[in-house]
Structure 1
Amino acid sequence: MTEFGGPEALHLLDVPEVHAGPGQVRLAVRAAAINPTDTYARNGTYAQHPKAPKEMPWIPGMDVAGVVDEIGPGTETPLQVGDRVMAIVVPSGAHGGYREQIALPAGSVVPVPSGVEDTAAASLPMNGLTARLALDRMGLGAGQVLAVSGAAGAFGGYVVQLAKVDGLVVVADAAESDRELVKSLGADVVLERGDGFADAVLDRYPGGVDGLADGALLGAAGARVVRDGGVVSTVRGYRGDDVDPGRGIRFEPVMVRDYAENTAALDRLRQQAESGEVTLRVADVVPAAEAAAAHARLEAGGVRGRLVLTF
């Protein structure tokens, strides 16, 4: 974008060539996933953030897959030119994923899962790492009960699958049309999403569950399902300021930039995609030139899986 606005603010633009510096690799991008956070970058929601760049253009995008075509001087990495890879991008001004060429820290880049196309691989890094970070910050143990809101979404879906691998009992929400999907992800209990979700959880677990991964942004209404002394993992920075502090609930806002160079966590996700422990879901693939229409489609709601741009 050269200005903030609706989907129409996205347009094709030529930008200068970049080269990999020390500690970096450069990718020829083949695919970039579209995430809700990209729409907030586009419409100006993040413009006042202290770390927001003050100059245009802004290029959104936090997930890419492609081919390594340059390795920076002195960079220690097992990657080689020609390797097919996926990566997480922390956008900053023109440094976003919707571009044909990008230089990234080597720690943010790992091989694509074996047998997986670039478009599917591009759907994994950001949401997968956010889910992994959320579970790590919550610190629940095998056998404990985790509620997941927004379980049919990308973040929520990965939380369900990773939590099951970690040995947790998962209680998830879903619309009627998404029940089979959420069950297929491994949820032990699937309850109707919406205003009645909290009451339905408490009907099953009167003392509350051990934790909540709040992908649906339920806020205080969602925290009701958590037992005193439990934990809530949140996105969009919610810290539970409107929840009674006497309940002792710990709130863990997750910012995926904290795991952006956690190579081991990203590579574990690669292995889990290969083994089938996590499922890569692509809703549709569209040319990069149609990014504006894809943003409009995402904002209209109901998209399951990721829309992915191709270059």
Structure 2
Amino acid sequence: MSFAEFGGPEVLRLVDAEEPHAGPGQVRVAVRAAGVNPVDWRIREGQMQKVRPIELPAGVGLDAAGVVDEVGADVEGVAVGDRVFGEGSSTYAEFAVLSAWAEMPEGLTFEEAAGYPSVVETALRVIREVGVRPGQTLLVSGASGGVGSAVLQIARDRGITVIGTAGAANQDYLRSLGAVATTYGEGWVERVRRLGRVDAALDLAGSGVIRELVELTGDPRKVVSIADLRAPELGARFSGVAGSMPEALAEAARLIARGRLHIPVERSYPLADAAAAHIDSQAGHTRGRRVIII
């Protein structure tokens, strides 16, 4: 899957491309599934050019799960035939090169594994950046998507109480992940206040709530957004620089193996329907993850 100009989902094209090859420190995988992340369509629209510039035409996708079929120089601990999940480039494809990977945890399907890399890295990063500690309460705005699902479970594992906002249809889902759930919409700030003190807050949906999150925490330094580029205008932080993906993948594997982390796949799409996956991702209201099946 490729695009030759920035724009809406209609710019995506299924094309025949030269097979990529693993360079030093990389592996190539025969992709079985690719994760769909909001950053994918933000890159496609050109929103990320100042942060993550690309040259056109460009491929699409960062996350994948598949079978290693080529190992680059200076790579140890992995062999052709291994089942891995990780991060690379142009992963909406039959073959993709990964720069970070880990062995797939036992019992995980390719479809499920493809949904973890970026969301777990993001969840670990924003929990660290917002500075919330065990025993404190974290408010998560837009908590039912992939990153929210990871944040809720990682926070619970660390002894952090989470209040999560989502649509009415996702209240039971949030509770199943250990969160105190409430709906967004009119009166949501008062509903959160009635649930108790908020020590820190995350904006995962970019729905224009930064001012209210600052009000609820009492400190803009305790508010971090991954979706609202204007957050710094109100003293909050925008988190857009990825941390260590190998560490995130290792932590994901540990949590999955312990039964402490599970991110469901809400919907999967064939590669030819990548545009539909982007449209659905942009619409929000996701419960868990969307993935492309190769």
In the superposition, the TM-score normalised over structure 1's length comes to 0.86
Q: Are 1:259 and 2:244 counterparts?
A: yes
Q: Give the match for residue 92 of structure 1.
A: none
Aligned mates of 1:256, 1:302 — CA distance in 2? 25
Aligned mates of 1:209, 1:269 — CA distance in 2? 27
Q: Give the match for residue 66 of structure 2.
A: 66
Q: Give the match for residue 155 of structure 1.
A: 147
The answer on whether the counterparts of 2:214 and 2:220 sit within 8 Å (CA) in structure 1 is: no
Q: Are 1:225 and 2:224 counterparts?
A: no
Note the alpha carbon deviations across 1:58-108, whole angstroms, 9 max, x for none: 222121000111111122x3111111000023xxxxx42212212222xx1
The answer on whether the counterparts of 1:142 and 1:167 sit within 8 Å (CA) in structure 2 is: yes
* Aligned positions of 1:275-290 closer than 5 A: 275-290=258-273
* Identity fraction in percent: 36
Aligned mates of 2:164, 2:7 — CA distance in 1? 34
**Matched letter for residue 33 of structure 2:** A
Per-residue deviation, 1:129: 1.0
Note the alpha carbon deviations across 1:223-251, whole angstroms, 9 max, x for none: 211134761121136474443x6xxxxx4
Aligned mates of 1:81, 1:256 — CA distance in 2? 31
Note the alpha carbon deviations across 1:106-154, whole angstroms, 9 max, x for none: xx10011211110110001111110011112223221011111111111
- Change in Cα spacing, 1:235 to 1:301, as seen in structure 2 (3 Å) is closer
Q: Give the match for residue 31 of structure 2.
A: 29
Q: Give the match for residue 11 of structure 1.
A: 13
Q: Give the match for residue 54 of structure 2.
A: 53
Q: CA RMSD in A?
A: 2.0
Question: Is there any run of 5+ residues in structure 2 with no aligned partner, and where?
Answer: none
Aligned mates of 2:252, 2:61 — CA distance in 1? 19
Per-residue deviation, 1:284: 1.8
- Change in Cα spacing, 1:100 to 1:155, as seen in structure 2 (3 Å) is same
Q: Give the match for residue 82 of structure 2.
A: 83
The answer on whether the counterparts of 2:265 and 2:290 sit within 8 Å (CA) in structure 1 is: yes
Q: Are 1:172 and 2:164 counterparts?
A: yes
Aligned partner of residue 60 in structure 2, secondary structure = coil
- Change in Cα spacing, 1:216 to 1:296, as seen in structure 2 (3 Å) is closer
Aligned partner of residue 38 in structure 1, secondary structure = helix
Which of 94, 99, 102 is equivalent to 2:96? 102
- How many residues align? The count is 290
Q: Give the match for residue 127 of structure 1.
A: 119
Q: Are 1:212 and 2:201 counterparts?
A: yes
The answer on whether the counterparts of 1:130 and 1:256 sit within 8 Å (CA) in structure 2 is: no
Aligned mates of 2:205, 2:52 — CA distance in 1? 25
Q: Are 1:143 and 2:143 counterparts?
A: no
Aligned partner of residue 250 in structure 2, secondary structure = helix
Aligned mates of 1:7, 1:229 — CA distance in 2? 35
**Matched letter for residue 97 of structure 2:** A
**Matched letter for residue 191 of structure 2:** A
**Matched letter for residue 223 of structure 1:** V
Q: Are 1:181 and 2:173 counterparts?
A: yes
Q: Give the match for residue 190 of structure 2.
A: 199
Per-residue deviation, 1:169: 1.1
Q: Give the match for residue 256 of structure 2.
A: 273
